Amino acid sequence: MTVSSPAPALRPHAEQSFAEELAALERADSRPRPPGWRLSPWAVTQYILGTTLQDGTEIAPKYIGARRVVEVAVATLATDRALLLLGVPGTAKTRLSEHLAAAVAGDSTLLVQGTAGTAEEAIRYGWNYARLLAEGPSQAALVPSPVMTAMAEGRPARVEELTRIPSDVQDALITVLSEKTLPVPELGTEVQAARGFNVIATANDRDRGVNDLSSALRRRFNTVVLPVPATVADELDIVTRRVADLGRSLELPEVPTSLAEIRRVVTVFRELREGATADGTAKVKSPSGTLSTAEAISVVTGGIALAAHFGDGTLRPADVAAGIHSAVVRDPVSDGVVWQEYLETVAREREGWEDFYRACREVSG
Ligand SMILES: Nc1ncnc2c1ncn2[C@@H]1O[C@H](COP(=O)(O)OP(=O)(O)OP(=O)(O)O)[C@@H](O)[C@H]1O
Ligand SMILES: [Mg+2]
């Protein structure tokens, strides 16, 4: 159901934001399309990784990383195996899943959000109880899950955070994925998956062991691991582009972002994450948080908002210091010590980091 509102959506779906790109790709795409797909696997990959089409349309990159990773993910969706995107937090699993669904089917909204409280109805179907009581079980009283709708319409369904879902509920997916059918015993019917149906799931590496996938379910997925950016340059590229995109979509006032400031945020995050300085000469303690690329993007975007509204219109160390502090210091005691040590032994000594060191000292008091 869509409740219409006079204001533009804060966060439109991928297929809305990139409708023009998708339409241009559809026109340009002469390769064979798997049943039910709007684009060929080749065009889906171009949509995800970005390119310039012959007619001049710019396709912006949605996922920045190895082409092969994306190709394997897209190819999987064209087979009878489901796709599991696995990785540590902030490696763009959710983002890639949304854009894959948008490109394959023009619809990324058939979504099950996995939590400890996710019940079987979210994967199978539920009932409209008023109707059920009044009329008994009927097609009209049945409330299909996103998975059931995806099967009926031959589209991909998305399951977020699969391993947070209790194991017995996860098992409901086994029949769906192996038999490609969802029985409705109450009505003596079943929903058979139309061609084009598949499942794109995401799971967090750190959650492993929470509700591990059963081997029966795991076999039905092809797992694609999304890596953390390999080098500072890769990560800097991701952060710079995403910050620019976000600034545009949030309509933040233009702030000349100094690349040096963004590089510093990325460097601090990487050094703390990896437990060593970038030049490899000194060990550093790691804090409890993940300090993902996604968090680096938030710190810089938050800094830009501060600079635009309260600063002198340029991103300065003081604008990112508070954001870095709150990302790093999750636990005031143990992380606080780690951060102090980093500031005193690494940041303080580094050439050109004097202002940054001072700004961070002020925040951490
Ligand atoms: N390789 C990348 N390419 C493009 N954007 C990226 C990349 N890595 C991280 N990002 C950015 O990080 C943001 C967060 O990613 P996303 O929420 O998809 O991560 P996730 O892996 O699902 O994390 P979580 O495990 O916390 O759910 C994305 O919206 C994107 O801006
Ligand atoms: Mg996610």
Q: Give me ligand 2 centre to Cα 100, in Å.
A: 14
Backbone torsion region of residue 258, taken as left when φ is above 0, otherwise alpha when ψ lies between -120 and 50, otherwise beta? beta
For a substitution probing ligand 1, which of 273, 290, 293 has the most ligand atoms within 8 Å of its CB?
Answer: 293
- Closest ligand 1 atom to residue 62 Cα is 4
Give the list of residues 6+ apart from residue 245 with CB closer than 8 angstroms, or none: 60
Report CA(94)–ligand 2 centroid distance (Å). 4
CA angle (335 as vertex; 332, 341 as ends), nearest 5: 120
Distance CA 271, CA 264 (A): 10
Residue 257 CA to residue 255 CA, distance in Å, equals 6
Look at ligand 1, atom 11, and give the residue with the nearest C-alpha: 294
Cα–Cα distance between 285 and 20 in angstroms, integer? 47
Residues with CB under 6 A from ligand 1: 63-65, 87, 89-95, 202, 204, 238, 242, 293-294, 297
Residue 305 β-bridge partners: none
Mutating to test ligand 1, I would choose from 49, 84, 91 the residue with most ligand atoms within 8 A of its C-beta, which is 91
Q: Which of 338, 345, 308 is nearest to 324 (CA)?
A: 338
Tell me the ligand closest to 99's alpha carbon: 1
- Closest residue by Cα to residue 191 from 123, 131, 129: 123
Q: How far apart are the CA of 286 and the centre of ligand 1, in A?
A: 21
- Nearest-atom number in ligand 1 for the CA of 87 is 21
- Give the Cα separation of 95 and 217 in Å (integer): 23
**If you measure from the C-alpha of residue 96 to the centroid of ligand 2, how many angstroms do you get, rounded to a whole number?**
9
pLDDT in 10s for each residue of the chain, 365 residues: 566 667 878 889 999 999 999 999 999 999 999 999 999 999 999 999 999 999 999 999 999 999 999 999 999 999 989 999 999 999 999 999 999 999 999 999 999 999 999 999 999 999 999 999 999 999 999 999 999 999 999 999 999 999 999 999 999 999 899 999 999 999 999 999 999 999 999 998 776 556 678 888 999 999 999 999 989 999 999 999 999 888 887 888 777 767 889 999 999 999 999 999 988 888 999 998 889 999 999 999 999 999 888 988 888 999 999 999 999 998 888 999 999 999 999 999 999 999 999 999 998 76
> pTM of the entire structure?
0.91
- The alpha carbon of 332 and the centre of ligand 2 are apart by a number of angstroms equal to 26
